[in-house]
Every structure is written in structure tokens, then in C-alpha cells.
Amino acid sequence: MFTSLKYSLAIISILSLFSACSESSTKKTSETLVVTKDTACVYSYDDASLRVFWAGYKTEDKLKVIGQFKEQTTDRSLQKYASLTELVNGTKFSINTLSSASGDEIRDLNLKEHFFNLFTDNFEINGSLDSFSKDSVTASLSILGFDQTVKLAHSLKNDILKMKGTLSINDFGAVKAYNSIHLKCYDLHKGVTWDDVDVIIEVPLIKECK
């Protein structure tokens, strides 16, 4: 009888252990089961938050001078698109070069009178962003009747789309504009004015996801 009781207790213990393991396993499986849903986002921006910078170079040491255009417009402000590609591709823009500010009033006046008035018609730069790819954006610029394409590298950080490229003043046939600013600033530039200009565009994105 003692042996039978001992045998029964052993079976109960084994069954209890199996039951505990089974419950633990079931609980663990339940905890690791995660249901995911696709997230859909739309992208837009506001013209008022756009920032367009330029950088020119002077002297043999190629010292950098930085300025910003304070006024620019596009045809897609506050319009919503399902992807960055759709948002960027085909965007048309216009930049008011009279709004250029470099932090130096004399320099800004010289640029207005001896560069931008010869480099642009009615102090406007018009263009479009034509092709947004993984590595770059192709931009078309129309200046003084010359149409040129420029490759802009792009990056995205903290919901700010940044595009940067370099253009040559001479590629737009703007020899008069180059010679004018070069002669006006000859002494300040120590006889060297570079014809390449960097363009930097920053677009703070408005991202809405569901």
C-alpha cells in the first residue's frame, strides 16, 4: 500500500511539472506574439520654412563667403504627397536674388549692383527639381537664357531634407557678372575670385503618419 501511494504521488508530481512547463511555454508564446501594422505617411513643407544658402570663394586660399536668400517660392508649398520622391519630383521654384544677405551690408550692396543685376533677369533665378533618386537630385536652372542641369547630393536627418551642389558661373554665360564682381572686389579678393558657387537647400519636412 505504501509503495502504491508513493507511486501515485510520483505520477502526480510529474503531471504537475508537465502542466507547469506547458503553462509557462504557452504564456511565453503569448507574450512574444506581436501584431504589426503598416504605417502610412504623407510629406509636405512650407515655403516660409525653406532655407537657401550660397557659398562663394575668394583669394588663392579659397576663403569661403556664405550668404542666404531670404525669399523664394515653390509651386508645392503645403501640398501633401505619399513619398519624398513624389514631393520633390517636378517642383518648380523661383529665388529672389535681391533678398541675398551675407551679414555684411557693403558686400550685399556690391553683389546686388555688380553681380546679381548682371547674373539674373529681374533679379530672379528660376528652375525645377526634376529627378529625385537614392543618391542625388537633378535640378534644372534657367539663368540669362541659359538652361543648365546641376546634380545635388541629398541627405535626410531629423526630418530635414538637405540638398547641396556646385555650379560654375561661366557655365551660364555670365562672364560680365563674373568680371564685374571680380574687378569691384579685386583688392579684397587679393586678385582671385573663384567662378564656382555652392548652393545649399534645406527643407524642413512636415511628416504625418497614421
CATH at residue 104: 2.40.128.110
Look at residue 143 in the predicted model and tell me its pLDDT. 86
Is residue 84 domain-shared with residue 174, that is, in the same domain?
A: yes
Do 22 and 71 have their domain in common? no
Do residue 46 and residue 106 come from a single domain?
yes
Between the two ends of the chain, the Cα-to-Cα distance in Å is 69
Q: Which parts of the chain fold into alpha helices (H)?
A: 2-32, 84-88, 105-111, 117-119, 175-184
pLDDT digits (tens, 9 = 90+) for 153-174: 999 999 999 999 999 998 888 9
Q: Kindly state whether residues 5 and 51 are assigned to the same domain.
A: no
- Answer yes or no: do 111 and 9 share one domain: no
Which pLDDT belongs to residue 7?
A: 45
> Is the same domain home to 57 and 78?
yes
Q: What is the pLDDT of residues 32-62, one digit of tens each?
A: 444 444 578 999 999 999 999 999 999 999 9
Question: Does residue 44 contact residue 206 with C-beta atoms inside 8 Å?
Answer: yes
69 lies in the same domain as 104: yes
Quote the pLDDT of residue 195. Answer: 96
pTM for the model? 0.78
Q: Are residues 10 and 50 in the same domain?
A: no
Please give the pLDDT value at position 32: 43
- For 49, 70, 81, 91, the CA distances from 205, given in Å and listed in that order, are 9, 18, 11, 15
Nearest to 96 by CA among 59, 67, 134, 62: 67
Residue ranges of the chain with pLDDT lower than 70?
1-38
Together in a domain, 140 and 185: yes
Give how far Cα 129 sits from Cα of 42, 57, 149, 168, 205, Å: 19, 25, 10, 18, 16
Asked if 95 contacts 64 with a C-beta cutoff of 8 angstroms, the reply is no
Same domain, 134 and 166: yes
The answer to whether residues 146 and 176 belong to one domain is: yes
Domain span at 9 = 1-36
H or E element, residue 164: strand 160-168
Number of domains forming the structure of the chain = 2
- Together in a domain, 48 and 31: no
Could you tell me the sign of the dihedral formed by the alpha carbons of 157, 165, 134, 149, in that order? positive
